[in-house]
Amino acid sequence: MMMTQSPATLSVSPGERATLSCRASQSVSSNLAWYQHKPGQAPRLLIFGASTRATGVPDRFSGSGSGTEFTLTISSLQSEDFAVYYCQQYTFWPPRFGQGTKVEIK
Amino acid sequence: EVQVLESGGGLVQPGGSLRLSCEASGFTFSNYGMTWVRQVPGKGLEWVSVISRSGGDTYYADSVKGRFTISRDNSKNTLYLQMNTLRAEDTAIYYCAKGGSSSYVFDSWGQGTLVTVSS
């Protein structure tokens, strides 16, 4: 069971839209979560169930997809959004994370 | 406010042991599964182990099975990870995470504690 994220790095200007992809090697239905991780900080749950925002997550973050193809969209990047983003499946044991997409300032 | 705070990391020689702790607050600890996740510096996240609400069920990644033991003390709101026979490849930041809608959705994390295995 592999999770593959693309691109590895995404260079985006503040205010622009960012689209991150995550592909599962087998169908995980909608059992897909997205996390945001900044250096030296605790990872933060953004999305679970492929499209449900976690408590307190701004609505500029949205998740979509099912089966093997998933997308995290940040509609208008804010300065605090520059971070590494991980997808994670929880259909198959063990739960597995993708390798991450780093969103950096262009 | 939900908080989890890890402690116990440090430098240990290969073959040595270390016990990590994670103190939880702001929620009813005994109602949630708890997990350890690690991150090798500069690399991605790796799930390590999970424990059920009561502590009766535990599961481990193949990479740590037989060497690590997860446990919890619900009276102290504390999660533990006993790490034995440590290897250089166990060097990582270890995060404690609270289970959410599923024990495998991690809705609150600590800032981590660094474990370095080196001679």
The pLDDT of B79-93, averaged and rounded, is 98
Is the pLDDT at B11 greater than 90, yes or no? yes
The residue of B101, B104, B107, B108 whose CB has the most chain A CBs within 10 angstroms, and thus the best one to mutate to test that interface, is B104
The pLDDT of B98-112, averaged and rounded, is 92
Contacts of B51 in chain A (CB under 8 A): none
The pLDDT of B58-69, averaged and rounded, is 97
- In this prediction, what percent of chain B has a pLDDT beyond 70? 100
Is the pLDDT at B101 greater than 90, yes or no? no
Instruction: Say if residues A3 and A97 touch (Cβ distance below 8 Å).
Output: yes
Is the pLDDT at B42 greater than 90, yes or no? no
For residue B40 the two structure tokens come to 């090798």
Is the pLDDT at A29 greater than 80, yes or no? yes
pLDDT digits (tens, 9 = 90+) for A30-60: 999 999 999 999 999 999 999 999 999 999 9
Position B113 confidence tier, pLDDT thresholds 50, 70, 90: very high
Q: Does A39 touch chain B (CB under 8 A)?
A: no
For residue B57 the two structure tokens come to 């069920």
- Mention every residue, 6+ apart, whose C-beta is less than 8 A from residue A33: A45, A46, A47, A48, A49, A87, A88, A90, B105, B106
- In this prediction, what percent of chain B has a pLDDT beyond 90? 95
Instruction: Say if residues A34 and A85 touch (Cβ distance below 8 Å).
Output: yes
Contacts of A37 in chain B (CB under 8 A): 45
The pLDDT of A77-105, averaged and rounded, is 95
**Which chain B residue has the Cα nearest residue A94?**
B61
The tally of CA atoms less than 13 A away on the side-chain side of residue A105 is 6
Position B102 confidence tier, pLDDT thresholds 50, 70, 90: confident
φ, ψ of residue A17 to 5 degrees: the values are -90, 140
